[in-house]
């Protein structure tokens, strides 16, 4: 209960209790004294003395309470209020120390703490302001980049709500359904079928780096055809992943290509027939009595006709093979295609058992499924069949999709009629025939009278066996917008350490004697820009040394002759490394050793490894002195860097460890006053007896 009272009230109650206790003690003392004396005549004297003493006691207690309340209780309350105002209300100004002058060192201590808090808060505010400004600049640059990307870019949530769109996407979507808006359904602007199918297929692949190419159309009465690519966006705690959708208008391209293809098809059709007829006529003429059978003229005419026929046949075949090349059809897993088709069938009350080979098919999965479903629905409506069998089989360089059922077969004429009908894909111009034309294939009926079954056969021209999914390739966007505003020093020596670009590298070799023929067997490097390691810029390759690798060297780095048998020779690798390191400061641990292997090939390859060089051995000596051990293991241990056991004595493992160590050494060098490359180089050369400076080349 007392905790709810203010400090001043609690102090007042304390002094009141002290006064009551003092008065009680005074009364008890006077009463005991009077009884011990036993003289009635002294009663008045005891009473008067007690009253005077009581008033004096009350006065002293009240006076002390007043002083304590004024100079301690009130001061503490004011000090607490000041602390709260400085801490929570961001009130500035100096602390009034006169208020708390009777509280000893408390006021100065509180003043120092508040000053430190204010400095920290100001520094934090400045840092936040700088970062906010930097992020705002980067946001503006990214917006400018995305606005100029020559394709429409959409970001959508897992519920297909718009999260982001750029200017070109606004132009593409704005022609239908009004101007697009954030948190609006994507399907207000685009037909949902292909997009839902691609989204579901990507989710089922469980591959975060998978992408799906598709053809979709805008909503509305005059749809535009869009070539799209979808990639999932995975976020923690997200039940259904969102996606990025890039869009390109191919309406005009598709129309122009269709007209061109129709013209070429007509040309081949109109030429094939006269050529065949001409060959027939030549055969008839050869039998004519008036002709010159076997003569020179007859042979010449036959040869020319045969040549013309072969040319037309060959060109026609090449034309048929290349009909799918113009359009980037995606590789679709046969199992994914079959599962999606079965789901579409089952949703309409149709069964579709079957098997799918482990194949990747080059096709537009959505259109193929729509075609199969359309044909199955028409067969069911005509024959009453509800159970189908859907198989995807390997067929030479391609595949064959077989839709079978028990019952009467289809006639070719009926099938041709169905193929001219539009499919339910949201685009009026898409028919079964157009889907077949896009895939450069045909579809025909077959019948097994003995088994009482019928089937439709749909070949896919391009397919390959599906192996294990390859390791995802990193596709991170690499950027550092601070490079736009960074001033370039004319001389490397005058450039601050944190403004240089570095290439940290390491080599593994057949031995330690380059002059006696030892060669590189592995070289690795990473780039450091603006004080950070650029994850996507890595050079790592094995090298064929052109000589056996000694067992002793293999025990160190684990590289065998078999591992480098198919690798490029050093004459092919060093030019690539030279381009990778161009314009950067080279950093290595024990750089003279690695540089000797590079420089001994300069004349042969016409290269010059004349980059500025820093050696982490010498930098470690600058920081800790020459008396310390400066091996890579010792250096990384001092800096708290762990090299995985499996990565030690591999070129890339040691390179990454050296790069991390160098990034920690730079601020330590700057703290000692070495801020530019030239200042560090001058200090490094003082440690020349520890290790020679790799920047000093041999004469001649």
- What amino acid positions are annotated as catalytic residues? 649
User: Residue 513 in 3-state DSSP?
Assistant: coil
> What is the distance between the alpha carbons of residues 185 and 528, in angstroms, rounded to a whole number?
43
> What is the distance between the alpha carbons of residues 337 and 601, in angstroms, rounded to a whole number?
55
Beta strands in 442-531, from DSSP E residues, in sequence order: 444-448, 453-460, 463-465, 502-509, 520-529
Rounded to the nearest angstrom, the gap between the alpha carbon of residue 49 and the centroid of all alpha carbons in its chain is 93
Using alpha carbons, list the distances in angstroms from residue 659 to 495, 642, 681.
Answer: 19, 12, 18
> What is the distance between the alpha carbons of residues 539 and 655, in angstroms, rounded to a whole number?
10
Tell whether the torsion through CA atoms of 66, 67, 73 and 74 is positive or negative.
Answer: positive
Give the angle 89-92-94 at the CA atoms, nearest 5°: 130
In DSSP terms, 332 is beta-bridged to 361
User: Residue 650 in 3-state DSSP?
Assistant: coil
Judge contact between 668 and 640, C-beta under 8 A. Answer: no
β-sheet with 359-362: strand ranges across = 331-333, 359-362, 463-465
Beta strands in 474-516, from DSSP E residues, in sequence order: 502-509
Judge contact between 100 and 107, C-beta under 8 A. Answer: yes
Half-sphere exposure of residue 266: CA atoms within 13 angstroms, side-chain side = 6
> What is the distance between the alpha carbons of residues 455 and 404, in angstroms, rounded to a whole number?
4
In DSSP terms, 414 is beta-bridged to none
Helices then strands, counting H and E runs in the chain, come out as 22, 18
- The torsion angle over the Cα atoms of residues 431, 400, 460 and 458, rounded to 10 degrees, is -20
> What is the distance between the alpha carbons of residues 269 and 181, in angstroms, rounded to a whole number?
50
Other CB atoms within a 10 A radius of the CB of residue 23 amount to 17
User: Residue 243 in 3-state DSSP?
Assistant: strand
Phi–psi pair at 377, nearest 5 degrees:
-65, -40
Other CB atoms within a 10 A radius of the CB of residue 381 amount to 9
Judge contact between 185 and 161, C-beta under 8 A. Answer: yes
**Tokens in use for 357?**
């080979």
In DSSP terms, 458 is beta-bridged to 401
β-sheet with 520-529: strand ranges across = 532-542, 520-529, 502-509, 585-588, 613-615
Other CB atoms within a 10 A radius of the CB of residue 83 amount to 15
Phi–psi pair at 331, nearest 5 degrees:
-85, 120
User: Residue 610 in 3-state DSSP?
Assistant: coil
């Amino acid at each position: 209960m007392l905790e709810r009272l203010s400090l001043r009230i609690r102090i007042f109650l304390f002094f009141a209790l002290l006064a009551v206790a003092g008065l009680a003690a005074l009364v008890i003392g006077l009463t005991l004294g009077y009884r011990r004396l036993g003289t009635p005549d002294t009663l008045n004297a005891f009473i008067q003395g007690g009253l005077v003493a009581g008033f004096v006691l009350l006065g002293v207690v009240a006076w002390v309470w007043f002083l304590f309340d004024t100079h301690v209780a009130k001061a503490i309350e004011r000090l607490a209020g000041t602390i709260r105002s400085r801490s929570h209300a961001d009130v500035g100004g100096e602390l009034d120390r006169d208020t708390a002058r009777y509280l000893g060192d408390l006021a100065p201590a509180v003043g120092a703490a508040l000053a430190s808090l204010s400095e920290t808060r100001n520094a934090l505010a400045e840092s936040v302001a700088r970062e906010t400004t930097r992020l705002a600049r980067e946001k503006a640059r990214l917006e400018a980049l995305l606005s100029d990307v020559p394709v429409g870019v959409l970001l959508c949530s897992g519920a297909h709500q718009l999260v982001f769109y750029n200017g070109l996407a606004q132009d593409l979507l704005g022609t239908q359904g009004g101007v697009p808006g954030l948190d609006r359904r994507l399907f207000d602007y685009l037909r949902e079928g292909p997009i839902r199918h691609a989204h579901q297929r990507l989710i089922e692949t469980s591959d975060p780096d998978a992408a799906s190419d598709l053809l979709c159309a805008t909503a509305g009465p005059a749809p535009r055809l869009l070539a799209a690519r979808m990639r999932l966006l995975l976020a923690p705690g997200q039940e259904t992943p969102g996606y990025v959708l890039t869009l390109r208008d191919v309406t005009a391209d598709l129309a122009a290509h269709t007209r061109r293809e129709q013209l070429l098809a007509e040309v081949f059709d109109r030429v094939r027939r006269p050529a065949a007829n001409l060959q027939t006529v030549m055969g008839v003429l050869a039998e004519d009595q008036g002709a010159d059978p076997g003569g020179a003229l007859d042979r010449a005419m036959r040869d020319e006709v045969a040549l013309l026929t072969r040319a037309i046949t060959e060109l026609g075949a090449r034309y048929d093979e290349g009909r799918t090349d113009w359009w980037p059809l995606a590789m679709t897993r046969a199992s994914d295609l079959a599962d999606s088709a079965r789901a579409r069938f089952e949703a309409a009350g149709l069964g579709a058992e079957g098997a799918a080979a482990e194949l990747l098919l080059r096709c537009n999965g959505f259109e193929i499924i729509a075609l199969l479903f359309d044909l199955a629905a028409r067969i069911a409506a005509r024959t009453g069949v509800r159970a189908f069998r859907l198989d995807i089989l390997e067929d030479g360089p391609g595949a064959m999709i077989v839709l079978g059922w028990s019952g009467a077969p289809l006639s070719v004429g009926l099938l041709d009629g169905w193929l001219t009908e539009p499919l339910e894909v949201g685009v009026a111009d898409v028919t079964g025939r157009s889907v077949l034309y896009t895939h450069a294939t045909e579809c025909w009926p077959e019948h097994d009278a003995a088994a009482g079954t019928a089937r439709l056969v749909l070949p896919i021209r391009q397919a390959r066996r599906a192996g294990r999914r390859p390791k995802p390739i990193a596709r991170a966007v690499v950027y550092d917008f601070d490079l736009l505003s960074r001033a370039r020093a004319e001389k490397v020596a005058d450039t601050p350490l944190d403004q240089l670009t570095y290439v940290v590298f390491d080599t593994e070799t057949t031995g330690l004697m380059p002059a006696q023929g030892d060669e590189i067997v592995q070289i690795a490097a990473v780039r450091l820009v603006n004080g950070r390691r650029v994850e996507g810029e890595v050079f790592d390759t094995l090298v064929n040394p052109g000589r056996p690798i000694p067992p002793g060297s293999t025990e160190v780095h684990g590289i065998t002759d078999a591992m480098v048998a198919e690798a490029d020779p050093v004459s092919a690798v060093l030019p690539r490394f030279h381009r990778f390191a161009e314009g950067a400061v080279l950093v290595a641990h024990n750089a003279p050793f690695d540089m000797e292997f590079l420089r001994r090939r300069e004349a042969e390859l016409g290269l010059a490894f004349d980059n500025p060089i820093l050696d982490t051995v010498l930098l470690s000596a600058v920081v800790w002195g020459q008396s310390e051990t400066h091996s890579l293991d010792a250096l990384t241990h001092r800096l708290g860097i762990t090299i995985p056991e499996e990565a030690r004595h591999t070129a890339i493992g040691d390179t990454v460890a050296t790069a991390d160590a160098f990034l920690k050494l730079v601020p330590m060098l700057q703290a000692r006053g070495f801020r530019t490359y030239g200042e560090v180089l001058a200090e490094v050369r003082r440690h020349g007896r520890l290790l020679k400076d790799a920047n000093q080349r041999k004469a001649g």
